[in-house]
A and B are shown apart, each in its own frame.
Chain A
């Protein structure tokens, strides 16, 4: 009975989560590029803008939170982390590719949509890393792979662009386009630097406690 209730609650969260994803995406697509064409002025325009922003924030973050809860079992696997890392990479490339200023409405909106979800993915990636490292004692492996990839991506760009250019590009606002592999790796490395030490220590303490109390 309890299991059935939990399943139905999970199903509800899943439906609501996907509904919020769709509605937030739709909102991003339908938001006009130029608000001055709207028949609103002064306070009403400000209120509308604030309302839209709040609705977007609630929609984007709420949908992610609901989907995380609905698919919490899947957070034991690394796929969600990898997907979010990929999303950050795509968003970083698109947001710097000039598509946002494109003449074509479809391209412009697609870029905006992906860039918005990319921003959310940066926060969601942290939550996914946290959940994964709570479930799995893989902090060492994850840190090793991420930081190795980061260092060799730097070496790759160094060979490709030369030291002076790399330094310029890495500090410029268009880093996402010129160094597309760096933003997702930076983001993952940042979250890992925050979470992995606690995960490692926490799991070690749990292991020591189990060993000391002779619990299986």
Chain B
């Protein structure tokens, strides 16, 4: 159990980690997409597409140990075992893991990369991968009174990644985001090709007569006839589809449905996944500190084992190895003289820090000296959340599309903001420190970014309608028809006066945005009310589970019972209020809310 430190009011170990919050945020975006796919109408089957995105990464995590085993140096393992060094380090790992409260065995693997030190594994299998050179050094340092603490600090840091489940989360999230950049383009290309082919061939198929194929013998023609000839029912169905389904609309829907997920996956990978990878290091350092290691010992360990400061690179897949050898390395070699890929020595630039996979020595030392920095840095929470919200609401699903598609994008960013900000301000509540000013700044930055873009976007449409009405008419009609998720073109244009339509939309758009701001304020307000007194009173060990229960419960209830019907009302979709899918959503929201409430009460009683 982590020990409370005198130097800080609230210990990191008891609080919900921002690594977890970032992981849930990534998951939330994809689960939200799945929810949209499940309950929204669609001309193509969206559910298996999104489901494949979520399921395949689970399998990729399962396959991690097999891939990592390719790095195992068996000869070095035998040599180190013969010297007794392997056993010594393994025993230390076992003892430290038990001390950290980690119940599962952690196996030591000797890597073929001599200076490697990292944690790896899958859901139930846990490993620490050490290069032979670093393992030898650790084994000798464990006997040396001056260096023992440094060696133990390094091992405990790696154990910390297992204790915090960083290995699984980082890998799952990484694979999830990678699959949005590989699987979705595949689905897009496949479906575009397939649908184009099927629709264009339909007419030819209707008029086809097998007996007209002269190159076939009469026997073969006779044999193929039952396979090619259509029944009257099939003929009617194909005729209907050819006459009614618009290929342009279908392709438009595919692009509109998949492109946002691909782009949001890229944004999440660029900003959030990397942030998650960086944050996990601080929490692993925090675990080392909570076991009585002074920050100086950990800083000294970083000096003695510089690999603690370099990002871990997992074993590449066989396909990756092949690509590296045949494509990437020759290209790198060829362009090396041009000066690309040159690494700057020393500190990372400000821009680099946003995309770095590992914090710098200075950042980690500052963090270790003052653990509260992780929570007090409101700027990082504000800007990263603003970027996500921008990506979700503005870059991908522009306000017009979100108005016509559904209200889900609005809810997703509302819940995302709540998740990130509540995780940030719990430590302030727990330590009874003032947070109003930074909270206000965070919300100001997030909403300023959104509303500025909204104003640009909303202002452009009437301008376009005024000066280029034909283009504005086309944009509006296309948006509405695609948003209706129909594959059939309407008989008449839905919007004839673009200026009137765009001006009529503006109040509703702003009402939706106000609803989102209200939603965030409501969620944070209720969260504050629920946590205000209890956070101080409750034992520190209850902070984390209580926080997640409240976040899940509140998000479900407010999202399903408040935001969804209100946004339906604002979007003038009153018929959908009592649709079966909506009723199911209300029921699920209520159920999750009750379950969370029950668990919170049980926890309080205990």
Q: Which residues of A contact B (CB under 8 A)?
A: 136-138, 140-141, 144, 147-148, 151-152, 154-155, 158, 162-164, 166-168, 171-174, 204, 207-208, 210-212, 214-216
Contacts and interface: CB of A to CB of B under 8 A. Distances in A.
Nearest to B204: A163
A172 B318 CA distance: 41
Nearest to B127: A216
Nearest to A207: B62
A154 B192 CA distance: 12
Interface stretch (B208-216, B366-374, B500-508): B208-216
Given A172-B216, A211-B125, A137 B208 contact: no
Given A164-B208, A216-B107, A154 B197 contact: yes
B431 to A, nearest CB: 40
A168 B200 contact: no
Contacts of A210: 62, 65-66, 125
Contact of B63 (A137, A166, A167, A215): A137
B105 to A, nearest CB: 8
A207 B56 CA distance: 13
Given A166-B201, A204-B62, A208-B62, 5 more contacts: A144-B190, A163-B205, A171-B213, A204-B59, A211-B62
9 closest Cβ contacts across the A-B interface? Answer: A163-B204, A172-B215, A151-B193, A207-B62, A164-B204, A173-B215, A152-B193, A154-B197, A155-B193
B604 to A, nearest CB: 36
Given A158-B197, A167-B205, A152 B62 contact: no
Contact of B200 (A152, A158, A174): A158
Contacts of B123: 211
B72 to A, nearest CB: 9
A158 B247 CA distance: 15
| B interface, over-half SS | helix
Contacts of B122: 211
Contacts of A140: 56
Contacts of B124: 211-212, 214
B58 to A, nearest CB: 10
B55 to A, nearest CB: 10
Interface in B197-243: 197, 200-201, 203-205, 207-208, 210, 212-216, 220, 224, 228
A138 B67 CA distance: 13
| A interface, over-half SS | helix
Nearest to A148: B190
A216 B74 CA distance: 14
A216 B69 contact: yes
B125 A216 contact: yes
A158 B62 CA distance: 42
Given A207-B66, A214-B124, A163 B194 contact: no
A155 B196 contact: yes
B189 A148 contact: yes
B56 A174 contact: no
A166 B216 contact: no
Contacts of A215: 125
A138 B220 CA distance: 38
Given A140-B56, A155-B196, A158-B201, A148 B62 contact: no
Contacts of B127: 216
Contacts of B62: 204, 207-208, 210-211
B440 interface: no
13 contacts: A137-B63, A158-B201, A162-B204, A163-B201, A168-B208, A168-B213, A171-B216, A171-B228, A172-B215, A207-B66, A210-B125, A212-B124, A216-B127
Contact of B213 (A155, A158, A162, A172): A172
A174 B592 CA distance: 62
Contacts of A152: 189, 193
A141 B319 contact: yes
B182 to A, nearest CB: 9
Given A136-B318, A168-B213, A154 B193 contact: yes
B213 A207 contact: no
B186 interface: yes
Nearest to A173: B215
A163 B216 contact: no
In this complex, the member of B197, B205, B210 whose beta carbon has the largest number of chain A beta carbons within 10 angstroms is B197
A214 B122 CA distance: 10
B177 to A, nearest CB: 17
Contacts of B208: 164, 167-168
A180 to B, nearest CB: 16
Contact of B201 (A141, A167, A208, A214): A167
A137 B318 CA distance: 10
B124 to A, nearest CB: 5
A144 B184 CA distance: 11
Contact of B319 (A138, A144, A151, A166): A138
A136 B205 CA distance: 40
Contacts of B193: 148, 151-152, 154-155
A155 to B, nearest CB: 5
Nearest to A204: B59
